[in-house]
Chains A and B, each alone.
Chain A
Amino acid sequence: MTDARLPDSAPARRWSWTDPALRSAVIQVSLAILLIWMAWSFFANAQANLARQGIASGFGFLDNSAGFGITQTLIPYSESMSYGRAFLVGLLNTLLVAVLGIILATVIGFLVGVARLSENVVIRALASAYVEVTRNLPPLFQILFWYLAVLATMPNPRQGWAFGLQPLLQSLANGAASIGLSPLADGLRSLAGDVSGPGVFLSNRGLVVPRPVFEADFNIIFGVLVVGIIAAWIVKRWAHVRREKTGQPFPTFWVGLALVLGPAIIAGFVLGWPMTFEKPELRGFNFAGGVRIIPEFVALLVALSVYTAGFIAEIVRAGILAVSKGQTEAAKSLGMRSGPTMRLIIIPQAMRVIVPPLTSQYLNLTKNSTLGVAVGYPDLFAVFAGTTLNQTGQAIEIIAMTMAVYLTISILTSMLMGWYNKRVALVER
């Protein structure tokens, strides 16, 4: 019986125009040639153009004296310092507004997002209105609005608004007087006289707040605080292990809070509060002392937080809705109340849906902080790509450095995101 045998080896491949390997090689080599040619011609053109304009390329300019002032500096800076220092000042200003904006936007966004799911129709409608209005107005519009229409139209420092204990007591006294309780009003007034000046001023010069002054002994309190944090972490680990073993719950949050704050407060008492506040005072037409938060910063921070919070609210809402209703019902049937259900069942599962788009909103906020240049907030972009570029004309180096900073932030964030996603991903069989 003879059977048709399969050939031992495939027939030798003949040369073909449509051979996938050949095609792949040809396409990739042509693309490589095209890209190299583009890069080379950009390079050659740039060199020729720079030579004609008499601009020396390179990063040497970073050591030159900047010669311009910056209205908000987190590290010591003066006009005689270098462009490199100005770059650092700008970068820190960008990070400051980005970090504070992210915190503020998250808080507002979560509140509004939960409010959009409220049973209460008034609250739900208000939250929806907030989301629609803030998301549909351009961020630059909002920044200009807060800067030009809100902060710039505030009264001058003399007539500005003061906040703090003294103004509060004063207004309480006025209120008491108006309803005929004059003894109480007098008492409150004399009390207000004892308190030294209001702490916080809001005017067209920005927000002025007291400056904390730390004395030498404060280091001890700081040390106690660090020890407390470590202790709280250890307790948390222990409570977790015990719960895994025995199922016994432990009020980790409250105990942790007590461990962190308690010793620090006691230490503060013992040492007699080695920290004082330097309060701002009105002198002439401006303030002396305290910390002045420039209106540009306030406008940018408020606008970015309010704008981004609208998007975060929608993300939070979608995340909570993505947790199936069976989870709530199961928690109810186990007898859990609505607070723990939300905290222990819904939110942890919703976070898996919320976090990826949330980080992209954080990135957007950081990138949108460049819009501060429109109102003169000295962030990295305004200081470096704005003023420094104007003064030195080193367009290529400066724009490349600016882009590199934002690109680094983006890449770091997305790496962090990838790590988080891997950690919380559902383990499927």
Chain B
Amino acid sequence: METRTVAFVAPPELRPQEPAPANTRGAIGWARAHLFGSVGQVLLTLLGIFVVYAVVPPLLKFFVFEAVWTGTGRDDCLPEKIGRPVGACWPFIWAKWNQILYGFYPAAERWRVNTVYLMGALLLAPLLFPKLPFKRLNALAFFGIYPVIAFVLLTGGDLDMRTFLLGWTGLDFGLASFAGLRVGFWLQFILVALIAAGIGMLVCPFFGGERGSVAKSILKVFAVLGVILLVVDLDFGLEPVETRQWGGLLVTLVIAVTGITVSLPFGILLALGRRSDYPLVKYASIIFIEFWRGVPLITVLFFATYMLPLFLPGRFTIDGLLRALVGVALFASAYMAEVVRGGLQAIPKGQYEGAMALGLRSGFMMRLVVLPQALKLVIPGIVNNFIGLFKDTTLVLIVSIFDLLGILRASFTDPAWATPTTLFTGFGFAGIVYFVFCYGMSRYSMALEKRLDRSHRH
């Protein structure tokens, strides 16, 4: 029997392997693939280079090479006075620096704003690095303790609180005061705490809790609330500063940080409410969320500024900034609810079922199993929300609150700095500030997303 073998493939030793063609390798290959592959590509490349040429050098010339860096008044920025073409007039920014940072905050009290800035930075920085320890404590300090201290420092504290929820009964313990604290207020507070604990003990079998522990946890909540109220009520001898004097970056940051801090708990509640089995809870949450998401922020601010005061009892007068904060908080809560809902939906059903199989009641299931996972998933979403909120703070200038953009816009009309380039310098500076904040945060959110994503890949 005869067998024939046919070699279909030439053995490698017959012909030496040849390198890839020269025009697909190295710098030439790269340029062919990415710049000059075809006539169309060449044209696109030339167009791109032309755009870069038309945009970048003039910007650099304006903001750096021809800019005026030092000076004391408009004369230093007028081309006819200094005898050369003038780009950006940076002395204008230096002159307005305090307004940009603090608005019209009294000069003697600016150390308070600086302290708040510094504390915020020191507490926030370690929170941003996932590797550092004490996250829970750190978050508590930033979201829980810091706002109270910042409130006291910025406003001066010493709120003159007279009644606590019992004003309507006409119950009066007298208005004697002691160290800036009104005795009547605190007696009412203690009374309310005891009543709440009593009600809790009465209804606790209904939720399947234990009498003693329910009363204890209610009293604990009141203790925390009491400490917060005490801090804002105490007279630390700080000069009160009206919010009308606040401005610039201070207002921008106060609105953005308050908005996100307040919206987090409310957003979680609304998101849970939207997934609730009780129809009334579910539809009330849906209506709330979709209503605020469906209208523009500026109408919300107008609502808070012009309509809200009408809805409250006549004796309340609300501060202008607080009104804007209420509007921003309503708006941000609705958006936060949708972000959190996304996280809740991403948790596999097995987690819920596992928690139920262990016999956890729904409150514990949410608190111990679902929310910790869901919230971790939505951190990038929360950061993105914050970026949006940060950009949206500019809208308060329409209700006459001077944020960073508002202060700069107001200072364009300052005759002491009226030069042909003042306007462009101001826009350039504001643009750089907003860009640095927003771009930095979006990069951070993307890095975080990547990190979280990896930890969930099996």
Contacts and interface: CB of A to CB of B under 8 A. Distances in A.
Of B45, B294, B405, B427, the most chain A CB neighbours within 10 A belong to B294
A374 B296 CA distance: 14
A149 B422 CA distance: 10
A138 B405 contact: yes
A395 B41 contact: no
Interface stretch (A64-72, A140-148, A169-177): A140-148
A168 interface: no
Interface string A26-62: 1110011001000000100110111010000000000
A148 B412 contact: yes
B144 interface: no
Interface in A338-385: 367-368, 370-371, 373-374, 381, 385
A132 interface: yes
Contacts of B206: 17-18, 22-23, 26
Nearest to B294: A410
Contacts of B299: 370, 381, 385, 399, 402-403, 406
A122 interface: yes
Interface string A2-26: 0000000000000001100011101
Contacts of B311: 42, 45-46
A318 to B, nearest CB: 13
The interface size bin for chain A is 35 or more
Interface in B277-305: 277-281, 284, 290-291, 293-299, 302-303
A367 B442 contact: no
Contacts of B291: 407
A373 B301 CA distance: 13
B295 A367 contact: yes
Contacts of B51: 126
A183 to B, nearest CB: 32
Given A126-B52, A139-B391, A406-B294, A31 B312 contact: no
Nearest to B387: A136
B295 A407 contact: yes
A281 to B, nearest CB: 31
Interface in B6-43: 33-35, 37, 41
Contacts of A144: 405, 409, 427
A119 B44 CA distance: 11
A399 B306 contact: yes
A138 B291 CA distance: 23
Interface in A85-140: 118-123, 125-126, 132-133, 135-140
A125 B47 CA distance: 13
A373 to B, nearest CB: 6
A267 interface: no
B155 interface: no
B35 A140 contact: no
Contact of B278 (A24, A139, A410): A24
Given A137-B434, A141-B430, A368-B296, A49 B314 contact: yes
B34 A120 contact: yes
A85 B425 CA distance: 42
A389 interface: yes
B423 A45 contact: no
B303 A403 contact: yes
Contacts of A389: 302, 306
Given A120-B35, A148-B423, A35 B284 contact: yes
Contacts, number: 159
A139 B392 CA distance: 8
Interface stretch (B64-72, B88-96, B181-189, B394-402): B394-402
B435 interface: yes
B161 to A, nearest CB: 21
A391 interface: no
Given A119-B41, A126-B51, A149-B427, A136 B438 contact: yes
A220 interface: no
B307 interface: yes
A373 B298 contact: yes
B167 interface: no
Interface centre among B47, B296, B427 (most CB of A within 10 A): B296
Nearest to A395: B306
Contacts of B33: 119
Given A27-B278, A141-B430, A122 B296 contact: no
B268 to A, nearest CB: 17
Contacts of A396: 307, 310
Given A120-B45, A122-B49, A367 B296 contact: yes
Interface in B156-199: none
A123 B310 contact: no
A137 B432 CA distance: 9
Interface in B216-271: none
A190 interface: no
Contacts of A35: 284
Contact of A137 (B277, B306, B431): B431
B424 interface: yes
A118 B40 CA distance: 12
A153 interface: yes
Nearest to B300: A403
A149 B409 contact: no
B208 interface: yes
A266 interface: no
Contacts of A406: 294-296, 299
Nearest to A132: B439
B405 A122 contact: no
A138 B279 contact: no
B48 interface: yes
A411 interface: yes
Contacts of A371: 298, 395, 398
A115 to B, nearest CB: 9
A327 B223 CA distance: 63
B313 interface: yes
B397 A140 contact: yes
A138 B298 contact: no
Interface string A386-429: 00010000011001001100110011000000000000000000
Given A399-B303, A407-B291, A136 B296 contact: no
A171 to B, nearest CB: 19
A148 B387 CA distance: 25
A4 B409 CA distance: 86
A215 to B, nearest CB: 42
Contact of B423 (A17, A46, A52, A149): A149
18 contacts: A24-B277, A45-B313, A120-B45, A121-B34, A122-B45, A126-B48, A132-B439, A136-B387, A136-B438, A140-B397, A141-B394, A144-B405, A368-B296, A381-B296, A389-B306, A395-B307, A402-B299, A407-B294
The 5 closest A-B pairs by CB, nearest first: A122-B48, A410-B294, A367-B296, A136-B438, A138-B391
Given A28-B280, A135-B438, A381-B298, 8 more contacts: A18-B206, A45-B310, A45-B312, A121-B34, A135-B442, A137-B438, A370-B298, A410-B294
